[in-house]
Amino acid sequence: MAKKVIIIGGGAYGLAAGTYLAMNGFDTEIHEMHSIPGGVCTAWTRKGYTFDFCIHWLMGSSPGKSLYHTWTELGAVQGRRMIEPDIYLKWQSKEGETFTIYTDPEKLRAEMRRLGPDDTRFIDSFINGIVSFSKFDIPARKEDQSFGMMFKMIGFMPKLMKWGGMDVTKFAGKFKSPHLKQFFTDMYVGGGMGGFPVMGMMMMLGFMAARSNGYPEGGSLKFIQAIESTYKKHGGKIVYNSKVDKIVVENGNAAGIVAGGKEVRGDYVISAADGYATLNKLLEGKYSHPKIDQAYAEWEPFPSLLFISLGIARKFDNMPSMFHFYAKNPLTIEGGKQTITMVPLRLFNNDTTMAPAGKTAATSMISTYHDEYWSALKKSDKAKYDAEKKRIADWIIDECEAYFGDFKNKVEVVDVATPDTIIRYTGNWHGSYEGWLPDKKTMMKTLPSQVNGLGNFYMLGQWISPGGGLPPAAMEGRKLARKICKTEGVKFHTV
Ligand SMILES: Cc1cc2nc3c(=O)[nH]c(=O)nc-3n(C[C@H](O)[C@H](O)[C@H](O)COP(=O)(O)OP(=O)(O)OC[C@H]3O[C@@H](n4cnc5c(N)ncnc54)[C@H](O)[C@@H]3O)c2cc1C
């Protein structure tokens, strides 16, 4: 009889592991507390507008990269138009100067040289790094770990060493150009991500230069629903609105879960839910691992978000999809804890499926580490909580009116999510949107997927793979499925 694997959490990682296990004949059952799949990889629809929360870029979105094979195995990319942008982002400084981040490295070189004529050597070395990273590949599958690929990776070592050791704060500080310095500071340091490795940014731009880091038309929920349907096609079961409260342990082994007062037994339990809750609630703080304890004591999570969605009854032709500009009137929020100076705007003008004809869905992501402020406010004074959400949305609308004109009167839908919303829908620790922040402490590391003294139990997800993101969902989900196959003497296959 097929061994039963219970998976807690139907986010990207839980679904990926479940799909590979179901393909290999395991009896898989995902328990997801929400009514839809995806976790943070999600979108929602209001009055005909779809507001996408997640995918800005998908590494391996097009053929030529190893990751593309995993997305194909998961059924996520077939028949889906990938939008590989020419411009990643356009930024406008306080003085009105613009910086366009082209995905073509040569166009980007010219743009950076224009802004930083005294930074030519440094710019060249940065761009040449991006060109190198465009040829780089991550062996996403064991089958792709060929000698040739490994040999090629060794060739990247000097570049990895050079850029891997530099964080964005140091990188920004190297520019003489005030605009370039300001841009990199705004993008990362201002959002609490000053320790972000430059290499991560170069890898992203490298994959964009290789035209394999695009946005899937239809957005994040459609992308994840495609994986869910592959999962189901292979016989996988998913139980929605099923919040797991406990992992059942018997004789040192995970033996099942308790959800909604009901016990469900299994041969393996995988938690692809929030890491902190898994350890402290589902396992009642009884099991851990020294490396995991150290991470929770020393590592920084990604911030949470204030996420403002607008449905606008007009088009924004000739605008890049990602556009950040300085606010005319900065806004102080969170009881004086934070002042927002930039308006980060994402216009879904490249995807006609996201809004009715002639209209545009837009979103704005504002980072915050003050999740407690929002949760406490909602609990103590719901009217003030709602008023604060409205104040932030009104501010963005006013700033956009001042910038674009003909904006305010066209806004048909306003939706604001706070860190409290993220916690409520996904359970992520502090409402973090991507798990552990990549920096020197976490770079190239993964946390143990097993805890001491507990058999038949694995953890998976963005709290095990620092930096989070969708690529490790496919890679780590596959790897774990292979591991369980090996334990059970099943020859791993993918059809
Ligand atoms: C705003 C934003 C932008 C992003 N942009 C990109 C991007 O451009 N490219 C990219 O590659 N990645 C991006 N990411 C990151 C990527 O989406 C995440 O790292 C990844 O989806 C995390 O998946 P996960 O399965 O680990 O966690 P989650 O998505 O949090 O999934 C965990 C699931 O477990 C469920 N759950 C929790 N507790 C329980 C319980 N007790 N019982 C049952 N179910 C439970 C939750 O409801 C959730 O569905 C972005 C993320 C965000 C939020």
Residue ranges around ligand 1 (CB below 6 Å): 8-14, 31-34, 39-41, 53-58, 243-244, 272-274, 277, 365, 426-428, 433-434, 461-462, 468-471, 473
**Residue 176: which residues within 8 A CB-CB, separation 6 or more?**
116, 118, 119
Q: What is the pLDDT of residue 403?
A: 96
Q: Is the Cβ–Cβ distance between 371 and 431 less than 8 Å?
A: yes
pLDDT digits (tens, 9 = 90+) for 208-238: 999 999 999 999 999 999 999 999 999 999 9
Low-confidence ranges of the chain (pLDDT < 70): none
Residue among 470, 475, 476, 478 to mutate when testing ligand 1 (max atoms within 8 A of CB): 470
What is the pLDDT at residue 160? 74
The answer for residues whose C-beta is within 8 angstroms of residue 269's C-beta and 6 or more apart is 5, 6, 7, 8, 247, 254, 255, 256, 257, 456, 457, 458
**pLDDT of the residue at 152:** 75
Q: Whose CA is nearest to atom 1 of ligand 1?
A: 54
| Ligand 1 centre distance from Cα of residue 374 (Å) | 20
Residues 6+ apart with CB under 8 A from 148: none
CA of residue 38 to ligand 1 center, whole Å = 7
| Residue 10 Cα to ligand 1 middle (Å) | 9
What structural domains and CATH numbers belong to the chain? 4-42+218-300+435-487 (3.50.50.60), 103-210 (no CATH), 304-426 (no CATH)
Q: How far is the CA of 246 from the centre of ligand 1 (A)?
A: 20
Collapsing DSSP to helix, strand or coil, 127 comes out as helix
The pLDDT of residue 19 is: 98
pTM: 0.96
Which residue, by CA, sits nearest to atom 34 of ligand 1?
Answer: 9
Gap from CA of 300 to ligand 1 centroid (Å):
17
**From ligand 1's centre to the CA of 461, what distance in Å?**
8
pLDDT, tens digit, 9 for 90 and up, residues 356-369: 999 999 999 999 99
Cβ atoms < 10 Å from Cβ of 142: 11
- Return the residue whose CA atom lies nearest to atom 29 of ligand 1: 39
pLDDT given for residue 270 in this prediction:
98
Cα separations in angstroms, 392 against 147, 334, 335, 416: 53, 10, 13, 8
Amino acid letter for position 8: I
Distance 375 CA to ligand 1 centre (A): 20
Q: Residue 291 class from Cβ within 10 Å (0-12 exposed, 13-18 middle, 19+ buried)?
A: exposed
